[in-house]
Chains A and B, each alone.
Chain A
Amino acid sequence: MKCNKTKAHKMNKIIKAKLITKIYSKNGSVLVKALQDVSLEIEKGELTAIMGASGSGKSTLMNILGCLSMPTSGEYFLDGVNVNTLNDNELAKIRNSKIGFVFQQFHLLPRTDALENVALPLLYSERSNITKLARQALEDVGLAERIHHLPSELSGGQQQRVAIARALVNDPEIILADEPTGNLDSRAGLEVISIFQRLHAEGRTIILVTHDQEIAEHANRIIRIKDSKIVGDEKVKNQLIARDELENLPTEKEVMP
């Protein structure tokens, strides 16, 4: 892995993207310009929301930030490392050790219990005390009682918490959450957001990709994307606190599967 020394003094900038363009082409002819000259920097410990309508390019940006795909042009530094220079195996290692993904669809393995789902990233790491770490991550998201439940035996909110535990388990630098509340009811969604806010309070760097203004206002910074370009980047003045909102929700029976 190459480390760019000139950026070493800016190590607090965990993400540094410069003029990133992503073009999807088929049969050689240009089809979609998904991202155009996007530059952004994210500091360590920020809770950032990336907002945009569907088709705006926000998912493409997330895939690039998550090292799942490479930009057509432009440079991307993650934790000081120039991602463009990495090969497939090095990218896999980066995804494994520095990035935790949370998806809208949860993407838990069926027929596999919560503990094993959470342990999945550890399978591809060099760590040894897998079960202990996975158990700890599940305790961290409040699912200590559910470690041997299958995804089908868990509610949507619980499934997403398992997914968050999986994202946390290898102690990554950033957590990338793509519409994490999209498949959840408002209470379960707020619970998930409150976990993110707690993790942020504990010093984690979190990027929330969403199309929902209200969800985005739980972050402390909102980056807006429209038509493949960044059109706004602002601090959130009145940050919403999910925990408070949960308390104000009309009390209803705990949603259980």
Chain B
Amino acid sequence: MKTLRLTTNAFKGLTKNKMRSFFMMVGIIIGITILVIVLSITQGANKKIMTRINNFGPNAIMVHSGGGKMRGPSSVSEANLTQKDLRDISSIEGVTTVSPFQLKPEMAIKYQNQSTTASVMGAMPNWADVWNRGVSKGDFIRTEDVELLKKVCVIGETVKNQLFPNSNPIGAELLIGKVKFKVQGILQKRGASPAGTDFDNLIVIPFSTASRRLMNQPKYIAMMRVIVDDPSHLKIISKQISQILRHNHHLSSDEEDDFKLRSSTQIIKMIKGVTGTLHIFLLLIAGLSLIVAGIVIMNIMLISISERKKEIGLRKAVGARRKDILLQFVLESLAVTLSGGIFGFILGIVGVKIMELATSIPAVISWEALALALVFSFIVGIIFGVQPARTAARLDPVETLR
């Protein structure tokens, strides 16, 4: 009862000197605002990483032709992976599926008087399994299509919308380059990557047809997608693939890889590398501003205590014990920091929403952020409130009431 009365009094006290309360709160508000924004960015980035990993496949390894640091998929023109590579990788323990495919970006596509450009993939039937992406209509590439080098294709939604805005594409014949292909299916929609690549602007044709009839690359394979039995084996299998390819390609130890491996582990590393430094920097700012806020609060509290000596003396004269005074001033600084923390949290949410509009970072507002804001406000309030409160509690009423 008594404590409750003192607590409500502490919060009421805030409104009695609004100017002072505001200045005490500013630092906390800024610190908590930054903290909330940083947390949101971190969680937004984590969400992004998770989507990327799920899109990529958490247990997939991509093998690209060509070395160097170049990002993105390898086109058929730089293909240097062999059938032996494919066989050797397939026989690694833990590898469940290997799906080779050819890729040629920006190929001219034509249907009647409509034309567009799209990436063309030459794929095996197991492409649908390894990408977890089949057809929404019609048939995917079948084994016989590959065996017989059939000129059939499966088109993505974007291609369909470009060339067949009003008609049913199944059964229609379109031109890829100068070769006629019959449409036998429509790919499931996948959308765009965060980088902007449209996964639906794609045509899939049989692997053999692509290699021999369209892309003139009968010997080499541009890319392979390797599926492993467990994501925890990604690292070791990647290493084995790397050894096999280096051996098969006769690379000496001082030569660089002429292929690239990518898996979700690398993607996580890549994204974290970009955002990690920023987070540490911002958290540092948040931490520093909270410390500065605490020091400011401590100073204003000390000033306010010397201004309120008479009040403290009086409270003691009418029966306040030392611990009552201590509690009062700790509660007052807590009232400041907790109110500041809540304002900061609200401001942080506003900031995050604005950032969401301005950038592609998704705004993630969690209860953890609110909890953390309150916890930090509480800690700052206690750490920097106790010292002034002790000073107040020690004052001698006889001296102060003189």
- A2-44 residues with Cβ-Cβ distance < 8 A to B are none
Q: B268 near A: Cβ within 8 Å?
A: no
Report B-chain residues with C-beta under 8 Å of the C-beta of A101: 317-318
Distance between A90 CB and nearest chain B CB, rounded to angstroms: 9
Report A-chain residues with C-beta under 8 Å of the C-beta of B322: 88-89, 92
- A72-94 residues with Cβ-Cβ distance < 8 A to B are 88-89, 92-93
Q: Is the CB of B316 within 8 A of A92?
A: yes
Contact of B2 among A93, A109, A124, A166 (CB under 8 A): A124
Select from chain B the residue with minimum beta-carbon distance to A169: B318
Report A-chain residues with C-beta under 8 Å of the C-beta of B1: 126, 128
Q: A184 near B: Cβ within 8 Å?
A: no
Q: A109-B314, A111-B16, A123-B5 are in contact. Are A68 and B397 (CB under 8 A)?
A: yes
Select from chain B the residue with minimum beta-carbon distance to A126: B2
Max chain A Cβ within 10 angstroms of own Cβ: one of B6, B315, B319, B396: B319
Q: A68-B398, A107-B401, A111-B17 are in contact. Are A92 and B314 (CB under 8 A)?
A: no
Report B-chain residues with C-beta under 8 Å of the C-beta of A107: 310, 313-314, 401
Q: Is the CB of A96 within 8 A of B17?
A: no
Q: Is the CB of A112 within 8 A of B16?
A: yes
- B1-15 residues with Cβ-Cβ distance < 8 A to A are 1-2, 5-6, 9
Q: Is the CB of B397 within 8 A of A124?
A: no
Max chain B Cβ within 10 angstroms of own Cβ: one of A95, A105, A125, A170: A95
- A107-121 residues with Cβ-Cβ distance < 8 A to B are 107, 109, 111-112, 120-121
**Binary A-proximity of B310-330 (CB < 8 A = 1, otherwise 0):** 110111111111111000000
Kindly state the separation between the CA atoms of A13 and B398 in the bound complex, as whole angstroms.
Answer: 26
**Binary A-proximity of B293-318 (CB < 8 A = 1, otherwise 0):** 00000000000000000110111111
Contact of A69 among B2, B5, B320, B398 (CB under 8 A): B398
Kindly state the separation between the CA atoms of A95 and B317 in the bound complex, as whole angstroms.
Answer: 6
Kindly state the separation between the CA atoms of A110 and B234 in the bound complex, as whole angstroms.
Answer: 71
Q: How many residues on A have C-beta within 8 angstroms of the other chain's C-beta atoms?
A: 28
Report B-chain residues with C-beta under 8 Å of the C-beta of A105: 310, 401
Report A-chain residues with C-beta under 8 Å of the C-beta of B319: 92-93, 95-97, 121, 124-125, 170
Select from chain A the residue with minimum beta-carbon distance to B322: A88
Kindly state the separation between the CA atoms of A109 and B315 in the bound complex, as whole angstroms.
Answer: 10
Q: A183 near B: Cβ within 8 Å?
A: no
Report B-chain residues with C-beta under 8 Å of the C-beta of A96: 318-319
Q: Is the CB of B317 within 8 A of A68?
A: yes
Q: A109-B311, A124-B324 are in contact. Are A95 and B318 (CB under 8 A)?
A: yes
Distance between B220 CB and nearest chain A CB, rounded to angstroms: 84
Report B-chain residues with C-beta under 8 Å of the C-beta of A103: 401
Select from chain A the residue with minimum beta-carbon distance to B318: A121
Select from chain B the residue with minimum beta-carbon distance to A111: B16
Kindly state the separation between the CA atoms of A49 and B128 in the bound complex, as whole angstroms.
Answer: 104
Max chain B Cβ within 10 angstroms of own Cβ: one of A97, A101, A126: A101
Q: Is the CB of B9 within 8 A of A123?
A: yes
Q: Is the CB of B320 within 8 A of A124?
A: yes
Q: Is the CB of A123 within 8 A of B398?
A: no
Distance between B371 CB and nearest chain A CB, rounded to angstroms: 32
Q: Is the CB of A92 within 8 A of B398?
A: no
Kindly state the separation between the CA atoms of A124 and B17 in the bound complex, as whole angstroms.
Answer: 23
Q: A66 near B: Cβ within 8 Å?
A: yes
Q: A63-B398, A123-B2, A128-B1 are in contact. Are A88 and B321 (CB under 8 A)?
A: yes
**Binary A-proximity of B386-402 (CB < 8 A = 1, otherwise 0):** 00000000001110010
Report A-chain residues with C-beta under 8 Å of the C-beta of B323: 89
Kindly state the separation between the CA atoms of A48 and B182 in the bound complex, as whole angstroms.
Answer: 117
Q: Is the CB of A89 within 8 A of B321?
A: yes
Report A-chain residues with C-beta under 8 Å of the C-beta of B310: 105, 107
Distance between B42 CB and nearest chain A CB, rounded to angstroms: 43
Kindly state the separation between the CA atoms of A87 and B2 in the bound complex, as whole angstroms.
Answer: 21
Kindly state the separation between the CA atoms of A120 and B322 in the bound complex, as whole angstroms.
Answer: 16
Q: A123-B6, A124-B315 are in contact. List 6 more A-B contacts (CB 8 A).
A: A92-B321, A93-B319, A124-B320, A126-B1, A128-B1, A170-B319
Which residues of A pack against B, CB within 8 Å? 63, 66, 68-69, 88-89, 92-93, 95-97, 101, 103, 105, 107, 109, 111-112, 120-121, 123-126, 128, 130, 166, 170
Which residues of B pack against A, CB within 8 Å? 1-2, 5-6, 9, 16-17, 310-311, 313-324, 396-398, 401
User: 8 closest pairs, A vs B, by CB?
Assistant: A96-B319, A121-B318, A124-B319, A111-B16, A92-B321, A107-B314, A89-B321, A95-B319
Ordered by A's residue number, 29 sampled pairs between the chains whose C-beta atoms are within 8 Å are A66-B317, A68-B397, A68-B401, A69-B396, A69-B398, A88-B322, A89-B322, A89-B323, A92-B316, A92-B324, A93-B321, A95-B316, A95-B317, A96-B318, A96-B319, A97-B319, A107-B310, A107-B314, A107-B401, A120-B318, A121-B318, A124-B2, A124-B315, A124-B318, A124-B321, A125-B319, A126-B2, A128-B1, A170-B319
